[in-house]
Amino acid sequence: MIIGIPKTTEAGEHRVSMTPDVVARLTKENHEVVVESGAGEAAGFIDDAYVAVGASIGDAARAWSADVVCSVEYPSDQGLANLKSGAVLLGMLQPLDAPARLTALARTGVTSMAFEIVPRTTRAQSMDVLSSQATVAGYQAVLLAAEKLDKFFPMLTTAAGTIAPSKVLILGAGVAGLMSIATARRLGAVVSAFDVRAEAAEQVESLGAKFVSIDMEQQDSSATGGYAKEVAKDTQSKILAGLAKPVAEADVVITTAQIPGRPAPLLITRQMVEAMRPGALVIDLAAPTGGNCELTQAGTTVVHSNVSIIGPTNLPSMAAGDASRMYGRNALALMKLVLSEDGVNVNFEDDIIEGSVVTHGGAVVHPRVKALLDGGGN
């Protein structure tokens, strides 16, 4: 079986889909692994490291034309042209955020599996790319805030007097939010957090942060695969009203709330930003899907009323080494479901495979993605 590891082409993307330690496990099982030249360099993995574990180095065409291709991103035009019918492609394909382009992918005849829709079950935890990369994003968000903020995170007692600790508010206590809480706490900040999910309060408090309580009906995420869902208009109004004071009092607000396949929910209005102190920060991790702050612009920093609203689009790439290690291990776990001694075996009776495949046999087959296409999804 030939497995291809292509180099990423998107600007600012430094991750690689498989690191040498993962490739070593594949070559030991007698799979042939072709790594595009330079694929791992930006993440700290040179070609020689792959060769040392039994991989070969090739060009982009060779990597993309393998029997199984593992990518970080949606294929480039060259990648699409080189994919062969009947191959399997694994990657972050944005099936819910950009479903329209999957029709072009379907025409190649590949069976594509998107990490964004891998079922969130106990058995699939080792394949959960969203969680592993959100861990990196949550960590990096706090480091970015600490770098940009005009004050220290911890309380300091100095000869020049006592410096009060920074107040950090985390909106959304999923994987990224919980990592942000833990990291901000380690840096000595006073941390509080909010989430619409009922189980979040205990998780927040277990990390030593204060949970912001709002008089609203909280969600049971066990019914939605662990994700938050869109709230009703009256609940949205209660959330905005309840967050006004905590946002105004914060030195840093980190927002992480996203709903798969939907625009990010609004949590911070223009008026709320205007009530924050001059020099405060908003780090909006939901920037790629519209942002949790009304003023967020993806990929840039907006300054409004002396408050900086930062909209990063790829924080995991800022720690590309460890992000790639985690991604590769997730990818290997999913890949093993389709590898067999006889070649590629896509078994649709496996619930993880069924839930992850977006294109097969020349068509888009995932029900939710098909629904988005039928409804004019972007």
Give the pLDDT confidence of 138-171 residue by residue, as tens digits. Answer: 999 999 999 999 999 999 999 999 999 999 999 9
pLDDT reported for residue 216: 81
25 is catalytic: no
**Residue among 67, 128, 195, 284 flagged as catalytic:** 128
pLDDT reported for residue 220: 64
Task: Assess whether pLDDT exceeds 70 at residue 211.
Answer: yes
Q: Which residues contact 49 (CB under 8 A, 6 or more apart)?
A: 20, 40
pLDDT reported for residue 106: 97
Rounded to two decimals, the pTM is 0.93
Average the pLDDT over 218-236 and give the result.
70
- Band of the pLDDT at 187, cuts 50, 70, 90? very high
Q: How many CB atoms lie within 10 A of CB 240?
A: 17
Give the pLDDT confidence of 13-64 residue by residue, as tens digits. Answer: 999 999 999 999 999 999 999 999 999 999 999 999 999 999 999 999 999 9
C-beta of residue 39 within 8 angstroms of C-beta of residue 63: yes
Give me the percent of the chain exceeding a pLDDT of 70. Answer: 96
76 is catalytic: no
Task: Assess whether pLDDT exceeds 80 at residue 217.
Answer: no
131 is catalytic: yes
Domain chopping of the chain, boundaries = 2-127+320-374, 149-313
Give me the percent of the chain exceeding a pLDDT of 90. Answer: 89
Burial 275-296 (b: 16+ CB within 10 A, else e): ebeeebbbbbbbbbbbbbbbbb
- Band of the pLDDT at 226, cuts 50, 70, 90? low
Per the structure block, which two tokens stand in for 63? 């990597």
CATH 3.40.50.720 for domain 149-313: yes
Instruction: Round to whole Å and give the CA distance between 326 and 131.
Output: 10
Give the pLDDT confidence of 65-115 residue by residue, as tens digits. Answer: 999 999 999 999 999 999 999 999 999 999 999 999 999 999 999 999 999
**Residue among 71, 131, 180, 219 flagged as catalytic:** 131
Task: Assess whether pLDDT exceeds 80 at residue 224.
Answer: no
Residue 376 backbone class (left: φ over 0; alpha: ψ -120 to 50; beta: rest): left
Task: Assess whether pLDDT exceeds 70 at residue 227.
Answer: no
Task: Assess whether pLDDT exceeds 70 at residue 378.
Answer: no
Same fold, 2-127+320-374 and 149-313: yes
94 is catalytic: no
Give the pLDDT confidence of 324-363 residue by residue, as tens digits. Answer: 999 999 999 999 999 977 778 899 999 999 999 999 999 9
Closest alpha carbon to 288 in 147, 142, 98, 133 = 98
Give the pLDDT confidence of 260-290 residue by residue, as tens digits. Answer: 888 999 999 999 999 999 999 999 999 999 9
Residue found by looking up tokens 């990096």 in the block: 140
Instruction: Round to whole Å and give the CA distance between 304 and 315.
Output: 23
329 is catalytic: no
Average the pLDDT over 231-251 and give the result.
94
Instruction: Round to whole Å and give the CA distance between 73 and 14.
Output: 11
pLDDT reported for residue 228: 64
- Band of the pLDDT at 225, cuts 50, 70, 90? low
Q: What does CATH list as the number for 2-127+320-374?
A: 3.40.50.720
pLDDT reported for residue 183: 98
Give me the chain's average pLDDT, please. Answer: 94
